Amino acid sequence: MSTIVALSTPPGRGAIAVIRMSGPEALFITRKLSSDLDNVKARRATLTNVQLPTTHETIDEVLVTYFNGPESVTGEDVIEISCHGSPVIVRKILDLTVSLGARFAGPGEFTLRALTNQKINLVQAEAIRDLIAAQTDAAVKQAARQVGGELSRTIASIEEKLISVIVLLESAVEFVEDDLPSAELGSIKATLSSVSDDIFNLADSYSAGRLLQSGIKVAIVGSPNVGKSSLFNRLVSRDRAIVTDFPGTTRDTLSETIDLEGIPVLLTDTAGLRETTDTIESLGIERTQQAIVDADLVLEVIDASDSSGALVNRDQNRSTIRVLNKCDLAVSKDFVTEKDLVRISALTGEGIESLRTAILAFLHRGDVDNEGLLVTNARHYDLLKSAEDELDNAIGALKDELSEELILVSLHNALKYLGQITGETTTEDILSQVFATFCIGK
Amino acid sequence: MSFDESFDVIVIGAGHAGCEAASAAARLGSSTALITLNLDLVGQMSCNPAIGGIAKGHLVREIDALGGIMGRVIDRTGIQFRLLNRSRGPAVQSPRAQADRMLYRSEMRRVLEATANLSLRQGKVVDLVIHQGEVVGIDLEDGRRFGAAAIVIATGTFLNGLIHTGRRTYSGGRTGEPAATELADSLKRLGFPIGRLKTGTPPRLDGRTIDWDRFEPQPGDVEPVPFSFATDQIEQQQIKCYVGYTTSSLHDVIRANLSESPLYSGKIKGIGPRYCPSIEDKVVKFSDKSRHQLFLEPEGHDTNEVYLNGFSTSLPAELQQDLIRMIPGLDEARIIRPGYAIEYDFVDPRELGPDLQTRRLRGLFHAGQINGTTGYEEAACQGLMAGINAASFVQGRSPFRLHRKEAYTGVLIEDLITQGVDEPYRIFTSRAEYRLALRYDNADERLEKYGRDLGLVGDSDWDRFNARRDRLAELRQALENTRFRRSEPKYAALQAQLQTDLGDVISLAQLAKRPGVTPDFVRRLLPVLVQAGLRASDLETSLADNLYEGYLRSQATTIERLYQHDALRIPSQLGFRALSGLSNEIVERLERVRPSTFGEARRIPGMTPGSLSTLLVHLSSQQNSV
């Protein structure tokens, strides 16, 4: 029996999140999360820092509770980790448990284990049966819905390429007496490499991608005294930058990482752009220019009350959101009808959610990372990585000139993993492809 | 009820399924009758005179390991043996042999006649005798009534057979032989769901009218690999087959005459196998191919008849003659028997339990083409299983079944009874999830013990099996224990030869897994004592076990991870309709198939993830309470 892990609280941001792990390895894995957990006691909560075993970097301060089987919810050893409710933290902890030997739970799997171990009775099972059925159907449909069906389309096209290779190799194995064109090893290698790349890129859009590793960089720019620092503080949610009424207060750039739906965003407040003779301020402006160059996205702040505040060093190649600040004051008639503006008040907080949404929309458009953000489900990511491993095995086997049936083991495994996301390919499906492709039969 | 004769088991039909069924039931101690329309045609090969091929050869080896007869008969009557896929891995290699058609059937009849408890009877079965919901006997056309506690129907293409050549159609089970129409009606009356399938066969030519020099000879293996584990030596004189091709002008003529083809005029309603297409189908569906391969297969030592493999057709006989003459080398060729298509009835195999017994009628078993399969080997393995289970049924023993993890026979039967068929079912290695484990060379390792437990494997075969198992164990030891260390002189030579670093120490078992290391290379590295008297077949089996073990482990991990619930048993009395949350459609699918495990249910076409989890929840909750 394997050890399964899943986020037990709803996904997204919250005060806390609870990760639950169940199975024979649960305790073993937990002990690797922190040195404080070596002697973790049953039914006691332990406050500790979860650390990456390699770098000892602290992921989060968490509360770990151990419920020993069979006196647990599933009847097995169960560990509950309460961490802070940030999707980034949750993912890091989940990834860590998986790297230590756990596997992402399928839909309803905790409940099934509880059932198997008679922790719930048949009446309770009847009650939750429909719930699990709904979840399972939802899991398959999820792929179809994800980002407008793009995930399932992407996987379908990957599967199509993979199946074309399987068809060639299967035909060579099964129909040796038929007059088939010999399978071109070079082109098979090329196709498999491209399938592997596709899967890598797709999986990469989940966690290994740059979004999660380093986040994106957003620079707040604008003329002096339009409220850049106020906006910065509003987004950072505390008074990080010094705000005064005097134009040119911010002399240096100031950066802070914020978490936007699980994506780290490095927010940079910059000095207002204007002609100046002040040496320090002009140094600041130079840094501002550099911040604009470095940024993935620029928030260009405009003072709603001052139509003269036009811009200033507009880099056409830079993705920009134009933010009209101070909308709590009288808005200059020049801006009343203008579109493509996000209207906010950094002072009152009005419109800040719209701005967050606009930044997220920009992220999801994929301009930051060409691979987009297709994969958002940890289980899907896990399956994709498994498929990728299998493909690499197949490519290795091909290079070693191993016989087709060995290469096919890995290819069928890969197809099975992909099938868990979008629906399985049956033997009949593959045979149909074979007969449609080749004239088989004496 | 009075019977002219009474038996424990009656087998209807003496084709490849019927012969195995009758032989097995009789040898298991049941008095058995094998009834056929024509006793001179026992074990007749209706189509090509060949046994084996990829996956089919595996089946024959399995039949042999279980104690069946097909392998022994073909070994004594085969006139060309080839081990297919020699260049590939051992799991996908498989023996194939051309048979002397007449010799095969006379040897099959000799074997059956030498079987104790087995009676051959000629006659036409027209009805089943039913008493209190169980089948108790059969009625023959000539008025005789035989009694039996179990009946195996293995009627092949004879069940309501209809033969087509061109626009002519006539009732028949095989060309020149009558169809079993009354029995088909009888099954229909009993309420069995019946469908229609189609197959075809090519013309047979007069060998004296063939310009053989214009074909490319295809010799058999110099050292034939037999089918039976008991065969040491192939005694029959070996012959050559020949390869030729159609031409594009021939294709044009076929296309111009498609209206003459019952396949294309809509006369044939039955569904034919896609992997055994007629020449009409090949020309239409693969119109870009300028030629199709043909095989000239002599039908035996004492006949001029030559089987034109690859040219299955139901075009009018006179047109067949014209077309044949357009094939280079067949300019003067004469047809002895024209090709034809045949439609026949089959019974939905989802009517069957894993023992091949119908759920509708206790004591009735179906085997072979009646279950929607095609192929002699597919038929024979079902016949063997049906014969075993018919005898077990009569003797009150528990049914015998094989899991898909352990035999192609298990794959085939589970596929049939859970998926049903919509075209003639042929075995392929890709149908087996555990292809690497199901090799032709280890069928004895997998199945001989079952054959012995059942009582079909005799003492001498059992001794032979045990001796081989001991030899394999020793060989395995030798492969593990023969090690090469960096400090040893032999190591440097090996490293130089393989041009790769071998680590500080490497065992012969590890070395053997490296690409490019041949069995002969391994043999020469074995201890001298082991080399002496080493059998090539033992070394091959040992190396195959060694090669695949890692792959099998990784595959098992994947399957355990994705399909961990497959082994959950479904109680046979489980009422699917009582499970809330299943749609009527799903309930009907489950009730038709009656899967015995969750894995079988999962493989039923059309099952939704939601319905599977509903089932899973129910099974999990019952797991400990049952």
- Inspect the interface and report whether the beta carbons of A406 and B551 lie closer than 8 Å: yes
In the chain, the amino acid numbered B354 is: P
Among the listed ranges A5-14, A207-216, B97-106, which one has the minimum average pLDDT value? Answer: A207-216
- Inspect the interface and report whether the beta carbons of B88 and A405 lie closer than 8 Å: yes
B:296-315 residues touching chain A, CB 8 A cutoff: 309-310, 312
Of A117, A133, A416, the CB nearest to B581: A133
A:325-384 residues touching chain B, CB 8 A cutoff: none
Mean pLDDT, rounded, of chain A? 80
Cis peptide, bond prior to residue B95, ω within 30 of zero: no
Q: How far apart are CA B14 and CA B263, in angstroms?
A: 29
Of B88, B605, B623, the CB nearest to A173: B88
Any A CB within 8 A of B550 CB: no
Cβ–Cβ < 8 Å for B93, B440: yes
Alpha helices in A175-223 (DSSP H): 185-204, 210-213
Residues of B in contact with A115 (CB under 8 A): 617, 620-621, 623
B:122-181 residues touching chain A, CB 8 A cutoff: none
Of A112, A126, A413, the CB nearest to B616: A112
- Inspect the interface and report whether the beta carbons of B276 and A170 lie closer than 8 Å: no
Residues of A in contact with B96 (CB under 8 A): 177
Cβ–Cβ < 8 Å for B468, B443: no
Which of B619, B620, B624, B626 is the best substitution to test chain A (most A C-beta atoms within 10 A)? Answer: B620
Of A125, A140, A401, the CB nearest to B617: A125
Strands A78-85 and A14-22: antiparallel
pLDDT of residue A208: 38
Q: Could you report the per-residue pLDDT of B162-220, keeping only the tens digit for each?
A: 999 999 999 999 999 999 999 999 999 999 999 999 999 999 999 999 999 999 999 99
pLDDT of residue A251: 62
Q: Shortest CA distance to B55 belongs to which of B408, B331, B356?
A: B408
Cβ–Cβ < 8 Å for B536, B473: no
pLDDT of residue A146: 53
Any A CB within 8 A of B616 CB: yes
Of A117, A137, A401, the CB nearest to B608: A137
Banded model confidence at residue A369, pLDDT cuts 50, 70, 90: very low
Q: How far apart are CA A342 and CA A370, in angstroms?
A: 25
pLDDT of residue A113: 85
- Inspect the interface and report whether the beta carbons of B429 and A128 lie closer than 8 Å: no
Of A129, A176, A406, the CB nearest to B614: A129
Q: Could you report the per-residue pLDDT of B402-420, keeping only the tens digit for each?
A: 999 999 999 999 999 999 9
Chain A residue with CA closest to B439: the answer is A405
Phi, psi angle pair for B432, to nearest 5°:
-95, 125
* Average pLDDT of the segment spanning A50-75: 90
Q: How far apart are CA A404 and CA A171, in angstroms?
A: 10
- Inspect the interface and report whether the beta carbons of B429 and A405 lie closer than 8 Å: yes
In the chain, the amino acid numbered A117 is: N
Closest-CA distance, B328 to chain A, in angstroms, reads 18
Tokens at residue B196, please? 């229609």
Helix (H, G, I), strand (E, B) or coil at A228: helix
Chain A residue with CA closest to B287: the answer is A439
* Average pLDDT of the segment spanning B542-559: 90
Please tell me chain A's helix, strand, coil percentages from 3-state DSSP, rounded to the nearest 5.
45, 15, 35
* Average pLDDT of the segment spanning A170-176: 91
- Inspect the interface and report whether the beta carbons of B617 and A176 lie closer than 8 Å: no
Q: How far is CA A318 from CA A5, A252, A291, B398, in A?
A: 41, 21, 11, 77
Quickly tell me which residue has 């008679």 as its tokens.
Answer: A118
- Report residue A252 CA to chain centroid gap: 33
Q: Could you report the per-residue pLDDT of B377-405, keeping only the tens digit for each?
A: 999 999 999 999 999 999 999 999 999 99
Residue A259 buriedness (CB in 10 A; 0-12 / 13-18 / 19+): middle
Count the Cβ atoms, other than its own, within 10 Å of residue B62: 30
Q: How far is CA B543 from CA B512, B532, B551, B554, B597, in A?
A: 7, 17, 14, 18, 34
Residue A143 or residue A195, greater confidence: A195
Of A133, A178, A400, the CB nearest to B613: A133
Question: pTM of the predicted model, to two decimals?
Answer: 0.80
A:176-195 residues touching chain B, CB 8 A cutoff: 176-179
Any A CB within 8 A of B295 CB: yes
Cα atoms in the Cβ-side hemisphere of radius 13 Å centred on A416: 20
Which of B430, B548, B619, B624 is the best substitution to test chain A (most A C-beta atoms within 10 A)? Answer: B430
